[in-house]
Amino acid sequence: MAQFVEVETVREWLADGDEIAFLDLREEGQYGSGHPLLAVNIPYSRLEMEITRLVPRRCCRAVLLDEEDGIAARAARRLEGYGYDNLHILSGGAAAWAAGGYRLFPSTNVPGKGFAEIVEHECATPAITAGELDRLRHAGERVIVLDSRPAEEFERFHVPGALNCPGAELVHRFTDLVGSPETLVVVSCAGRTRGIIGAQSLINAEVPNRVVSLSGGTQGWRLAGLELEGGPATGLAPLSDEADAAARRRAEAVAARFGVGRIGRTTLDAWLAETDRRTTHVLDVRTPEEFASGHLPGSVSAPGGQLVQAIDRWVGTRGARLVLVDDTGTRAIMTAHWLKQMGWDAQFLERGLEGRALETGNRSPGAAGVPVVPVLEVKEAARWLNGGAAAISLEPSAAYRRAHPAAAIWGIRPRLDRLPAGVLQAERLLLFADDTQRAQLAAIDLSELTSADIAILAGGTETWQNAALPVVASPEHPADAERIDFLFWNHDRHAGNEDSMRAYLRWETELPAQISADGISGFELASR
């Protein structure tokens, strides 16, 4: 049985060097409104879908955090059933953490964002304002803007004329992208932090050009009264031999200067066999397209720039070993040199893909313990509703507000016990969900609340609409207070709200002092 543990004990565990998974089980909106710095979000709605990927070692010490609403205890029961046997529950939940005098940080990916701000401060990473960049470009100066975000973000909006070059690709592709050492290189992102890390990566790699980050990224550009553009990225061209050789030289110098370790396949195989002692994550830091075309069995796609920014999307166990993989070593080294300074035991796999049988595709680990729930086609689902079945929409609250079948009431897994009695007493329950697996997990909880027959409509509301069946909108329902899946904090900064943009950029710059006061980040920038 999971044991309750106090805040001070958890803080001691987070700093003692042994493995710990500190898991915030609240939904994204609750987590994003404020959470302990090092807590990793696994919403209860997706618990079994995420746990084996983020915390693969089932004897790892784990602490579960909730809103003191019983979700942690419920999750512990689920996890115990799948073999997790070292579980603890934070007594008093998130409120107890705050009551102990410790900050709850809003937003997501806070460690990575805060680390970048500390890097800028400690390394004096140079920056350029949007107004100055615009002036230089209009004056005909040699300037190139490299946007360090993934392609899907770049395509939504970017500085006009920018080239898409995700963070881990900057050193890797620099020689091909930047033709002259006289060109000013500006690294951009949506705000501040990926631009800072990208610019400092090039500086650490000692490229010959002057390199700066774009102050405030695309938000800074808009606040300067300048227009962004959208449209597809041109795609990453094959790397030239010249660029490959130059990138390898620069990365090897970074590895030597920052003490980046390397391991071989024999060591990796031995580490992977130590499942009773230590967690080892094998992370492929190339682009998702390269990963899909061929990768080491058991490895996970984690593009390097995003991994530094948002490591909690891929790793849920603090103290785990991280083995980074790519084809040339450049991207793995550049990623590892940052992760080491963030407090992670990060190595790169030398000649990682050579001579190995590779898998293709992008298959992720399956969910643990997903029950078999009937999945209906739309005609059968309509017959269920016409025959008196109750309907529950498990789709995101924003999507529900836009459109849902009139008979469907909105629900979310941690609060299914709050559904109206008439719904839970129905003989049949039809679940509308855009994610069938998440609906199957909700069915676990529903089966403890009702004796109804439960089925899922494949494709949810979209399938219903495509069959020309009626839907309704409910712009005010569910009420904001019920939308625990939606992050309200600063959510409209990319929708033209200038006050939100300024507040967000100010929040980022305040993170170093807040993280320093918190005292357990594990960050340690290398002296260079």
Which overall architecture, per CATH, does domain 3-106 show? 3-Layer(aba) Sandwich (3.40)
Tens of pLDDT, residue by residue over 208-253, are 999 999 999 999 999 999 999 999 888 889 999 999 999 999 999 9
Q: Do domains 114-234 and 375-479 have the same CATH topology?
A: yes
Is residue 518 scored above 90 in pLDDT? Answer: yes
Q: Which of 155, 159, 108 is nearest to 130 (CA)?
A: 159
Q: Which of 51, 57, 22, 54 is nearest to 39 (CA)?
A: 22
Tens of pLDDT, residue by residue over 86-121, are 999 999 999 999 999 999 999 999 999 999 999 999
Q: Return the C-alpha torsion angle 306, 311, 312, 318, nearest 10.
A: 180
Q: Which of 153, 221, 220, 139 is nearest to 184 (CA)?
A: 139
Q: Return the C-alpha torsion angle 260, 513, 519, 54, nearest 10.
A: -60
Q: Does domain 375-479 have CATH number 3.40.640.10?
A: no
Residue 167's pLDDT band (cuts 50, 70, 90): very high
Helix or strand or coil: residue 166? coil
Give the model's pLDDT for residue 368: 67
pTM above 0.75, yes or no: yes
Token pair of 481 as six digits: 């207070």
Side-chain half-sphere CA neighbours of 458 within 13 A: 7
Give the model's pLDDT for residue 489: 83
Give the model's pLDDT for residue 496: 77
Give the mean pLDDT of 371-398.
95
Helix or strand or coil: residue 294? coil
Residue 365's pLDDT band (cuts 50, 70, 90): low
Separation of alpha carbons 128 and 404, rounded Å: 47
CATH superfamily of 114-234: Rhodanese-like domain (3.40.250.10)
Cβ count within 10 A of residue 491: 14
Cβ atoms of 312 and 256 within 8 Å: the answer is no
Give the mean pLDDT of 23-34.
97
Separation of alpha carbons 419 and 413, rounded Å: 10
Domain ranges of the chain: 3-106, 114-234, 253-349, 375-479
Give the model's pLDDT for residue 492: 79
Residue 426's pLDDT band (cuts 50, 70, 90): very high
Task: Please give the class, per CATH, of domain 253-349.
Answer: alpha beta
Token pair of 46 as six digits: 């997706």
